[in-house]
Amino acid sequence: MSNTRKRISKSVVDKLEPGELVWDSEVRGFGVRCQRKAKKYVLKTRVDGRQRWFTIGEHGSPWTADTARKEALRLLGSKHAGASIDEIRKPRSAQVTMADLCDRFIEDYARQHKKASSVLMDEMNIRNHVLPLLGKKLVTEITRSDIDTFKLAVRNGKTAPRDGRSHGSGHKGGAVVSGGEGVANRCLALLSKMFNLAERWELRPDGSNPVRHIEKYRENKVERYLTKEEFARLASVLEAAEEQKLEDPFVVAAIRLLIFTGARLGEILSLKWEYVDYEGARLLLPDSKTGRKTLYLNSLASEVLTTLPRIDGNPFVIVGKKPGEHLVNLRKPWYRIRKQADIEDVRIHDLRHSFASFAVAEGLSLPVIGKLLGHKKASTTERYAHLADDPIRSANERVAEQLAVSK
């Protein structure tokens, strides 16, 4: 994103390209940024000791460079008069659009309280679904009927990108966002949180959340478990990719660690060397999805780590393209690898499910499996309870074989 300083005028705004941000040379903190299509005036300043972003409005009536600059000065005046963050925003509450609420949600809530991967997912759903359908509406005028219409549109994929994927998300190994019942449910949860915050920020009356009482779609979650034969094919493809240098070695290492540990994708991609406890054969994760967490290393996982090179100046185990950063996207290499292994319906997260299924097959109890996967609640591990039937049936058949002599 370019970041220049000049006097903001109509001609400057008209020339902005997506991703550009220009700061005004006259009013400190006043700027205009160009998103994929919309150009929005913003103000960045410190309030109550914290840096805040205020979205003034989208370029066009009533917001021109001059009117937006005057609004920036009004906001700064309120700040210098000692107004709180809510008091500064309150005078414009009747004019706040859903696009404004989305910006504030990301800057003032999501980035403060959610993990970076979750923020990316929120931004993706906002960009692909919320803004196209609701972005120009006022926060105060959204009704339950609007939300019902929104839910149906997202389910039917009416706001999906043409290629069926989020542009530039780099998230979740290539999450498809073309619509569907699952995506609609995620968007409803996102909107519900946004409207709860809108009430807290006095942008809507208390108890007026329009998402309340909107039924979510019933999802039939299908969990895919790899067989031993499929794991063998996957192992062969990974070995060939490593030996023939068909894939980045850190990509191969990341997939192997996912297979051998049952970890979540984000936990492996963001893994730092300082989290690796070789003596205790474990990974000490300070900030996983469920908080502090310990993952145990078996001999195969330990071997992957001991054979990986450490890159000077980079604290991460799975090194990315940018200096000092970790790998952020496995989508494309995973698609190539799973195709070669003839397991094209397998998602990255299915490797975690498969780890659990093999643990069940070995007769491990659900509490032990929960420990291996780092589950905080026993109910989370219960999803694998049905898999325990298979080893029990096998054991029963072995007993029958022994008893057959008494026939």
If one compares 67 and 339, the residue with the highest pLDDT of the two is: 339
Closest CA to 373 of 290, 306, 302, 316: 290
Residue 64 has pLDDT above 70, yes or no: yes
Tokens encoding 143: 């009704």
Q: Which residue has the higher pLDDT, 164 or 258?
A: 258
Looking at residue 276, its pLDDT comes to 93
The percent helix, strand, coil of the chain (3-state, each to 5) is: 50, 15, 35
pLDDT computed for residue 205 by the predictor: 84
Q: Enter the tokens of residue 299.
A: 């001999």
Give residue limits of the domains in the chain: 1-95, 97-220, 228-396
Domain over 1-95 is classified CATH 2.60.40.650: no
Say how far apart CA 174 and CA 160 lie, in whole Å: 14
Torsions phi, psi of 241, nearest 5? -60, -35
- Give the number of other CB atoms < 10 A from CB of residue 233: 16
Measured between its terminal Cα atoms, the distance across the chain in Å is 79
Percent of the chain at pLDDT exceeding 70: 82
Please report which residue ranges of 42-143 form alpha helices under DSSP H. Answer: 65-80, 85-89, 98-104, 111-113, 116-125, 131-134
Other Cβ atoms closer than 10 A to 67: 14
Angle at 63 between CA 57 and CA 64, to 5 degrees: 130
pLDDT digits (tens, 9 = 90+) for 139-192: 988 999 999 999 999 999 887 554 444 443 333 434 445 678 889 999 999 999
Q: CA torsion, points 50, 53, 54, 55, in degrees to nearest 10? A: -170
What's the average model confidence in pLDDT over 301-329? 92
pLDDT number for residue 243: 93
Q: What average pLDDT does the structure give for the chain? A: 83
Q: What are phi and psi of 3, to 5 degrees?
A: -145, 90
> Domain 97-220 belongs to what topology?
DNA polymerase; domain 1 (1.10.150)
Q: What pLDDT does 165 receive?
A: 43
Q: Do the domains 228-396 and 97-220 match in fold?
A: no
The class (CATH top level) of 228-396 is mainly alpha
- What is the Cα–Cα distance from 131 to 211, expressed in whole angstroms? 16
223 band by pLDDT with thresholds 50, 70 and 90: confident
Tell whether the model's pLDDT for residue 320 goes beyond 70.
Answer: yes
- Model pLDDT, residue 392: 55
pLDDT class for 11, splitting at 50, 70, 90?
very high
Among the listed residues 111, 128, 135, the one whose alpha carbon sits nearest the alpha carbon of residue 57:
135
Q: What is the pLDDT of residue 377?
A: 67
